[in-house]
Amino acid sequence: MAFKLKVSAPFICMMVLVLATGSNGGGISIYWGQNGNEGTLADTCATGNYEYVNIAFLATFGNGQTPMINLAGHCDPYSNGCTGLSSDIKSCQAKGVKAILSIGGGAGSYSLASSDDARQVATYLWNNFLGGTSSSRPLGPAILDGIDFDIEGGTGEYWDELAKYLSGYSKKGKKVYLTAAPQCPFPDAWIGNALKTGLFDYVWVQFYNNPPCQYSSADIANLEDAWKQWTSDIPATNIFLGLPAAPDAAGSGFIPVNDLTSKVLPAIKNSSKYGGVMLWSKYYDDQSGYSSSIKSHV
């Protein structure tokens, strides 16, 4: 005997709504480029684990310096050896992965001397990595999806100006995504003002190497407090939990997979600004398999 359950349309709509709001899924952002043993950019995107790949780093720029990209052992920019990455970038984008150029880094030589300097750097980035034209594009003709501000030195001045100039190029066709990797102590010492502009699409906050606001020994309180401050005070569309992909990837702040999936993510995913998890870096992720272990929970 068949039993038929009659379900009203409003009930179905309600269930769909519950499912949509109850599954606040996010993506994984990865940094690639600082270890020649981490595989190719194309292979990185082919894993299917990442929605965003930050190509790191344009480590020298601003204040009259000749801009120079540094991709460790992957290629030699001095002999135009990184232009071959163009096909990898297009391969990533064909898979729906956003390919972003990360500027700065922990050991770079960079600063902005003035608003005009910020404008010149924005023009350089547009012509050499985004939708503009230049005879010397370091990564070849592929058009990257945006620029990541990983500013960890110099001064905090004029980064807001750089963000405004770069954002203006979105009016020329393809949107220029702006992302940033501030430290978790709020506000960030270098790009705190830039983040107030509301121009950043994705902000992956580094919850590591910062004991006052990171997870430690099963204590989630400091991380949760910092997370709430970031998500309430920064006008960004998506905030990400930035983590080391392995214990050796950072001095402190590594969260074991079980702790992340059972304690940390459940505590932060209810935020409407939750965007996912950022990992440093592809090399360490290869060692630990971290992204594969957390992907279904992010």
* Residues acting as catalytic residues: 152
User: What whole-number distance in Å separates Cα of residue 179 and Cα of residue 54?
Assistant: 9
Closest CA to 281 of 27, 44, 43: 44
User: What whole-number distance in Å separates Cα of residue 61 and Cα of residue 112?
Assistant: 8
User: What whole-number distance in Å separates Cα of residue 130 and Cα of residue 173?
Assistant: 11
Burial code of 218-227, b = ≥16 C-beta within 10 A, e = fewer?
Answer: eebebbbebb
In order of 84, 88, 100, 158, 281, the CA distances from 39 in angstroms are: 14, 12, 17, 35, 12
Q: Look at the block and give the residue holding tokens 């932060």.
A: 268
